[in-house]
Structure 1
Amino acid sequence: MGEHLIAGHSLDNRASVVALTHCLELLQGRAHIWDVWAVATAQEEETLGGAATSAFDLQPDLAIAVDVTWAQGPETPKHKAFPLGEGIPLGWGPNIHPGLHRAVKETAERLEIPVHLEPMPRHSGTDAYALQTARQGVPTLVVSIPLRYMHTPVEMVDLRDIRRAGRLLAEFVAGLEVGFRPRLTSDEP
Structure 2
Amino acid sequence: MRNLEFLKSLCEAHAPSGRENWLYPIIKDGFKEFGDISISQLNNIYVHKMGNSQSKIMIMAHSDEVFLMVTYISKRGFIKFKTLGIDAKSLVNQQVVIHGKEDINGIIALKPNLKQQNKIKLENLYIDTGKDFDIINSLVNIGDYITLDKKMIELLNENVSCKAIDNRSSIAAMRVCAEELENVTPDLNVYFVCSCQEEVGHRGAGMASYDIKPDIGIAIDVTFDGGLMGDTDRENILSKGPVICVGPNVHPRVRERITEIAKKYNIPYQIEVEPGNTGTDAWDIQTSVGGIPTLLISIPIKYMHTSVEVVNLEDIRNTGILLARFIQELKTSELEGLFCF
Scaled to the shorter chain, the TM-score interval is over 0.9
Matched, 1:42 2:217: no
Query: For residue 284 of structure 2, what is the aligned residue in structure 1?
Result: 130
Aligned counterparts of 1:181 and 1:92: Cα–Cα separation in 2: 20
SS in 2 for 1:85: coil
Aligned counterparts of 1:4 and 1:16: Cα–Cα separation in 2: 16
Q: How does 1:20-59 map to 2 (within 5 A)?
A: 20-59=174-213
RMSD: 1.4
**TM superposition score normalised by structure 2:** 0.53
Could you tell me which amino acid in structure 2 is paired with residue 164 of structure 1? N
Query: For residue 47 of structure 2, what is the aligned residue in structure 1?
Result: none
Matched, 1:161 2:315: yes
In terms of Rg, which structure is larger?
2
Q: Which runs of 5+ in 1 are unaligned?
A: none
Q: How does 1:39-188 map to 2 (within 5 A)?
A: 39-76=193-230, 78-186=232-340
My pick for the range that moved more, 138-147 or 43-52, is 43-52
Higher helix share: 1
Deviations 1:17-59 (A, max 9, x none): 0000110111112231111001111111222110100001100
Higher strand share: 2
SS in 2 for 1:144: strand
Aligned counterparts of 2:180 and 2:309: Cα–Cα separation in 1: 26
**TM superposition score normalised by structure 1:** 0.94
Aligned counterparts of 1:29 and 1:142: Cα–Cα separation in 2: 26
Aligned counterparts of 2:272 and 2:219: Cα–Cα separation in 1: 13
Q: Which runs of 5+ in 2 are unaligned?
A: 1-154
Aligned counterparts of 1:80 and 1:109: Cα–Cα separation in 2: 22
User: Measured at CA, do residues 135 and 24 of structure 1 come closer, stay the same or move farther in structure 2, by a change above 3 Å?
Assistant: same
Matched, 1:7 2:154: no
Query: Residues 48 and 127 of structure 1 are in contact (CA less than 8 Å); yes or no, is this contact kept in structure 2?
Result: yes
Aligned counterparts of 2:231 and 2:209: Cα–Cα separation in 1: 36
Aligned counterparts of 1:154 and 1:75: Cα–Cα separation in 2: 13
Could you tell me which amino acid in structure 2 is paired with residue 135 of structure 1? V
Aligned counterparts of 1:121 and 1:77: Cα–Cα separation in 2: 17
Could you tell me which amino acid in structure 1 is paired with residue 257 of structure 2? A
Query: Residues 224 and 230 of structure 2 are in contact (CA less than 8 Å); yes or no, is this contact kept in structure 1?
Result: no
Aligned counterparts of 2:174 and 2:197: Cα–Cα separation in 1: 18
Deviations 1:153-181 (A, max 9, x none): 00000000000000000010010112122
Query: Residues 94 and 122 of structure 1 are in contact (CA less than 8 Å); yes or no, is this contact kept in structure 2?
Result: yes
Query: Residues 146 and 157 of structure 1 are in contact (CA less than 8 Å); yes or no, is this contact kept in structure 2?
Result: yes
Aligned counterparts of 1:91 and 1:168: Cα–Cα separation in 2: 14
Aligned counterparts of 2:191 and 2:233: Cα–Cα separation in 1: 34
Aligned counterparts of 2:192 and 2:338: Cα–Cα separation in 1: 21
Aligned counterparts of 2:224 and 2:172: Cα–Cα separation in 1: 18
SS in 2 for 1:69: strand
Deviation at residue 14 of structure 1 after TM alignment: 0.7
Deviation at residue 2 of structure 1 after TM alignment: 1.0
Aligned counterparts of 1:103 and 1:30: Cα–Cα separation in 2: 20
Amino-acid identity (%): 36
My pick for the range that moved more, 58-67 or 28-37, is 28-37
Aligned counterparts of 2:234 and 2:156: Cα–Cα separation in 1: 23
Deviation at residue 7 of structure 1 after TM alignment: 0.4
- Aligned length, in residue pairs: 187
Query: Residues 262 and 322 of structure 2 are in contact (CA less than 8 Å); yes or no, is this contact kept in structure 1?
Result: yes
Aligned counterparts of 1:181 and 1:40: Cα–Cα separation in 2: 25
Deviation at residue 68 of structure 1 after TM alignment: 0.4
